[in-house]
Structure 1
Amino acid sequence: MIEGVGVDIVSVERIRKIYEKFGEKFLNRIFTEEEISYSFSHSNPFPHLAARFAVKEAVIKALKKPSGLSLKQIELKNNSDGSPEIKINGVNKRILVSLSHEKNYTVAMVIVENIL
């Protein structure tokens, strides 16, 4: 059964500017080491960071803003086939995600299902 839906859109330029202003402090507060490593393995890390940020915000919306859940606890990974997967320790829900990229923006849609 669907428990929640969340969507978020993020400006790639906004993420770049935040990184330029706050650097590693921003990265380490929001992203996991694996997310940072993956994003910076590309020549332009900012679309990848923006996608991960959009997913985190969409998850929070879909879960109806659970208290105590930080953005860093929500991790976007790529499966071996390249499809996105969300991992959250301690959350026993099925979380489906869809991402779309455009030159300047990334959008994420998340559906949370209860596991019966």
Structure 2
Amino acid sequence: MDESSESSKRNGAGTLIIGVGTDIIEVLRIGQMIERHGEVFLNRVFTEDEVQYCQRRKEYTQHFAGRWAAKEAVMKTLGTGWSRGVGWRDIEVCTSRSGQPSVILRGGAREIAEQAGICEVLITISHCRSYATATAIAVGR
């Protein structure tokens, strides 16, 4: 990579964008998975805190779909897909009191991020009745 390419990827003082991922999913698809597989599906994909957060929401299916999309987007920033020992629950989406989403990486996802020099993954999530989408940016220093 030449200097101009390197500098074009910089975002602020000393921050390097390592990866970008995006995902979109139909909310109906997640709703169908919840109807068909219930707790088995929820517990395979989402952490206990994620399930509790989403189930407290009026449009809970949209929130589950948003978290699904966020997890997929984060996987794309790691560049591995669902392989190399990374599970759904290795990526947890949290929400601050102000509503800003953030990511906690555990297990295989954390190991891959550390190997890649990723120090933080920023995310944004949006959803409506039909679709949920998320974008993730992996940054390093």
Output the TM-score relative to the length of structure 2. Answer: 0.77
Larger radius of gyration: 2
Taking the aligned partners of 2:127 and 2:64, their CA distance within structure 1 comes to: 12
* Aligned AA (1:69): V
Are 2:101 and 2:124, in contact at CA under 8 Å, matched by a contact in 1? yes
Determine the structure 1 residue equivalent to 2:90: 73
How many residues get paired?
115
* Aligned AA (1:47): Q
User: Following TM superposition, where does structure 1 have runs of at least 4 consecutive aligned residues deviating by more than 3 angstroms?
Assistant: none
Out of 37, 56, 62, the residue aligned to residue 41 of structure 1 is 56
Q: CA shift at 1:112, angstroms?
A: 0.2
Taking the aligned partners of 2:58 and 2:19, their CA distance within structure 1 comes to: 35
**In the alignment, is residue 100 of structure 1 matched against residue 108 of structure 2?**
no
Out of 101-110 and 28-37, give the one that drifted further: 101-110
Kindly indicate which of the two structures has a greater share of residues assigned to strand. Answer: 1
Taking the aligned partners of 1:102 and 1:23, their CA distance within structure 2 comes to: 22
Taking the aligned partners of 2:97 and 2:60, their CA distance within structure 1 comes to: 20
Out of 71, 77, 83, the residue aligned to residue 100 of structure 2 is 83
- The runs of 5 or more residues in structure 2 that have no matched partner are 1-15
Determine the structure 1 residue equivalent to 2:25: 10
Determine the structure 1 residue equivalent to 2:3: none
- The runs of 5 or more residues in structure 1 that have no matched partner are none
Determine the structure 1 residue equivalent to 2:11: none
Taking the aligned partners of 2:37 and 2:121, their CA distance within structure 1 comes to: 30
Taking the aligned partners of 2:43 and 2:71, their CA distance within structure 1 comes to: 14
Determine the structure 2 residue equivalent to 1:22: 37
Deviation string 1:6-65 (CA, Å, 9 cap, x unpaired) is 000011100000111111100000000000001001233100000000000001111001
SS at match of 1:23: helix
CA RMSD in angstroms, aligned pairs only: 1.3
Deviation string 1:75-106 (CA, Å, 9 cap, x unpaired) is 11011211011111234521111112222101
Taking the aligned partners of 1:18 and 1:103, their CA distance within structure 2 comes to: 16
Kindly indicate which of the two structures has a greater share of residues assigned to helix. Answer: 2
